[in-house]
Amino acid sequence: MSVRIQKFLANAGMGSRREIEGWIRDGLIRCNGKEAVLGDQVQGGDELKINDRFYKVVMQAYRSRKVLMYHKPEGEICSRADPEGRRTVFDRLPKLGSGRWIAVGRLDISSLGLLLFTNDGELANALMHPSREVVRKYAVRVNGEVSEEILQRLRTGVMLEDGMANFDDIRHSGGEGANQWYEVRLHEGRNREVRRLFASQELQVSRLIRIQYGPIALPKWLGRGQYRDVDKHLVHQLLRQVQLDKPAEQDDLLKLVPQHPRHRRKSAKTRRR
C-alpha cells in the first residue's frame, strides 16, 4: 500500500500539508534518491531525505497517536520560534522519537489555559476544522457592565469583520464590582474571537482562560507551564467526536523513522548486493 507523500508527512507530524507542499516545490524532499514531486507515493521501505535529514518509511502494527494537554501561561506564544526571543508553548514539551508536536488551535500571548498537542496531523486538522463543531469553553473576566440585552446579542450573533459570530452559551459565574466572570462556549476557533465578541459590545476582556476543548477539561491540579498525557479513554472520545475512530487504513500504519546517515549508507550497500 502507498500514500501521497504530502499527506503521509503531514500525518507524521512533520508540518502542515501546505508547508510540506512548499518544501517539495523548493526541492527540499527526496525519495529514494530522487527529488520528490507533488503527488508522489511512499510505501514501507522507502527512504526520504527531508531538509538534509534522513528518514525511513516502515510499517507498524498499529498507529501510535499521542495527545498531550498543556496549561499555557501568559506570555508564551503559539509558534515554534520567535525572532524576538519570547518563550513559545513548544519549549517545555517532551521530545518525540519521530515527527513533532502539532498544536490544536492557538491562544494569544495574553491568554492562558488548556492547549492540546498531538503527533497526528490528521487528528489536529479534524479537531480544528469548523465542520466538526468541536466545543471550546472559556472563563472570561470582563471589565464593564454587561446587560441582559448585551448577553442576548452575544448569544444570537453580532457582525465582526470576518462575518457573523456568536456564543453557543454565555453564563455569569461570579465576580466583584466592575470585574465580572463569565463562562462562554463556542464551536469554532476564529482568531481572537472571544475577545472580539466582547469588544463589539464595548467591553474589555481582562482575563481569558480556556478551560475545555471537546471532551477534555483543564484539570485544576495541572499547574501553569505543566503538561500531561491525555488518558487513552479521552483520546478515544476525541477520535470518535471527529470520526477518526474507524479501524486504521493501510496508509495509517506507515511510520516515519529517523535514520543516521551512517546507517543509511550501510543499508544502501546491502540493497546493492
**Residue 108 annotated among the catalytic residues of the structure:** yes
DSSP state string for 28-59: -EEETTEE--TT-EE-TT-EEEETTEEEEEEE
Q: Which three cell numbers stand for residue 183?
A: 463562562
Q: What angle do CA 196, 199, 205 make, to 5 degrees?
A: 90
Query: Whose CA is closest to 100, among 52, 126, 62, 66?
Result: 66
Distance CA 165, CA 197 (A): 7
Which position among 46, 52, 108, 229 bears the catalytic label?
108
Distance CA 219, CA 23 (A): 39
Check: CB of residue 192 under 8 Å from CB of residue 183.
Answer: no
Q: Which three cell numbers stand for residue 223?
A: 499547574
Distance CA 241, CA 235 (A): 10
Q: Which three cell numbers stand for residue 10?
A: 503531514
Contacts of 56 (CB under 8 A, 6+ apart): 45, 46, 47, 48, 256, 257, 259, 264, 267
What is the edge-to-edge ordering of all strands in the sheet holding 34-35?
A: 34-35, 29-31, 47-50, 53-59, 254-259
Residues noted as catalytic? 108
